[in-house]
Amino acid sequence: MTKRKIEDSLEADTERKKISTRDKSLYLDTINRKVLDFDYEKVCCVSLSSTNIYGCLVCNKYFRGRSMDSECFLHSINDDHHVFVNFDTLSFHILPENYQLDEQTASSLNDIRQQINPTYKDLKDIYQDTSLKRDLAGREYRPGFIGLSNFGANDYSNVILQALAHVPPLRDYLLLYPEKLHKTKLVGKLSLLVRKMYSPNLFKSHLSAHELMQFVSSSTNKRFSLHHESEPKDFLMWLLNNMHKELVSELQNNMISSIFQGKVELPSGKSKFWMLTLTLPSVTLFKDGAKLEIPQVALEDLLAAKKYKIAKAPQFLTFYIKRKDDTQKIAGVNGSNINPTVVKFNPSQLKVDTHVYKLIANVVYSSGQNENYSLEREDQAHYKIHVLDEVRNEWLEIDDLKVKPIEKDLLFLNQTYLQFWQKIA
Q: For 363-409, how does the pLDDT look when each residue is reduced to its tens digit (9 = 90+)?
A: 998 864 433 333 344 446 899 999 999 999 999 999 999 999 999 99
Among 21-25, 80-84, 136-140, which is the least confidently predicted range?
21-25
Q: For 44-102, how does the pLDDT look when each residue is reduced to its tens digit (9 = 90+)?
A: 999 999 999 999 999 999 999 999 999 999 999 999 999 999 999 999 999 999 999 99
Mapped onto helix, strand or coil, the DSSP state of residue 287 is strand
Residue type, 213: M
Using pLDDT thresholds of 50, 70 and 90, give the confidence band for residue 282. Answer: confident
Cα 62 from Cα 52, distance rounded (Å): 10
Among 69-78, 125-134, 206-215, 283-292, which is the least confidently predicted range?
283-292
Using the predicted structure, report yes or no on whether residue 12 has a pLDDT greater than 50.
no
List Cβ<8 Å contacts ≥24 apart for 293-297.
294/340, 294/341, 294/342, 294/373, 295/340, 295/341, 295/342, 296/341, 296/342, 296/343, 296/344, 297/341, 297/342, 297/343, 297/344
Going from the N-terminus, what domains does the chain have, and what CATH number goes with each?
Answer: 23-116 (3.30.40.10), 140-423 (3.90.70.10)
Dump the DSSP string for 28-40.
GGG--GGG----S
Using pLDDT thresholds of 50, 70 and 90, give the confidence band for residue 298. Answer: very high
Residue type, 371: E
Predicted local distance difference test score (pLDDT) of residue 21 = 44
**Selection from 280, 395, 413 nearest residue 338 by Cα:** 280
Q: Provide the CB-side half-sphere exposure for 146 (13 A, CA).
A: 27
Predicted local distance difference test score (pLDDT) of residue 283 = 73
Neighbours of 27 (CB within 10 A): 19
Using the predicted structure, report yes or no on whether residue 20 has a pLDDT greater than 60.
no
Using pLDDT thresholds of 50, 70 and 90, give the confidence band for residue 290. Answer: low
Query: Counting beta carbons within 10 angstroms of the beta carbon of residue 41, is it exposed (0 to 12), middle (13 to 18) or buried (19 or more)?
Result: middle
Averaged pLDDT score across all residues of the chain = 88
Dump the DSSP string for 173-235.
HHHH-TTGGGG-SHHHHHHHHHHHHT-S--SSSEE--HHHHHHHHHHTTTSS-SSS---HHHH
* 251 Cβ contact list (under 8 Å, min separation 6): 180, 181, 183, 184
Predicted local distance difference test score (pLDDT) of residue 268 = 85
Mean pLDDT of 22-51: 89
Using the predicted structure, report yes or no on whether residue 7 has a pLDDT greater than 80.
no
Predicted local distance difference test score (pLDDT) of residue 6 = 44
The answer to pTM > 0.85 is: yes
Evaluated on CA atoms 331, 332, 333, 338, the torsion sign reads negative
- b vs e for 87-100, b when ≥16 Cβ sit within 10 Å of the residue's Cβ? beeeebbbbeeeee
Using pLDDT thresholds of 50, 70 and 90, give the confidence band for residue 203. Answer: very high
Mapped onto helix, strand or coil, the DSSP state of residue 77 is helix
Mean pLDDT of 203-221: 96
More confident residue, 413 or 171: 171
Cα 418 from Cα 163, distance rounded (Å): 10
Predicted local distance difference test score (pLDDT) of residue 381 = 82
DSSP 324: B
| Cα 338 from chain centre | 27
Using pLDDT thresholds of 50, 70 and 90, give the confidence band for residue 129. Answer: very high
Contact status, residue 94 vs residue 73, Cβ threshold 8 Å: no
More confident residue, 289 or 51: 51
Predicted local distance difference test score (pLDDT) of residue 130 = 94
Dump the DSSP string for 346-368.
-TT-EEETTEEEEEEEEEEEE--
Dump the DSSP string for 131-146.
--EE-TT--EEBTTB-
**Selection from 186, 195, 193 nearest residue 250 by Cα:** 186
Predicted local distance difference test score (pLDDT) of residue 23 = 57
Cα 159 from Cα 175, distance rounded (Å): 19
List Cβ<8 Å contacts ≥24 apart for 44-51.
44/71, 45/71, 46/71, 47/71
Predicted local distance difference test score (pLDDT) of residue 266 = 87
Cα 230 from Cα 159, distance rounded (Å): 12
Using pLDDT thresholds of 50, 70 and 90, give the confidence band for residue 293. Answer: confident
Prior bond of 96 cis (ω within 30°): yes
Predicted local distance difference test score (pLDDT) of residue 154 = 94
More confident residue, 286 or 238: 238
Cα 68 from Cα 95, distance rounded (Å): 10
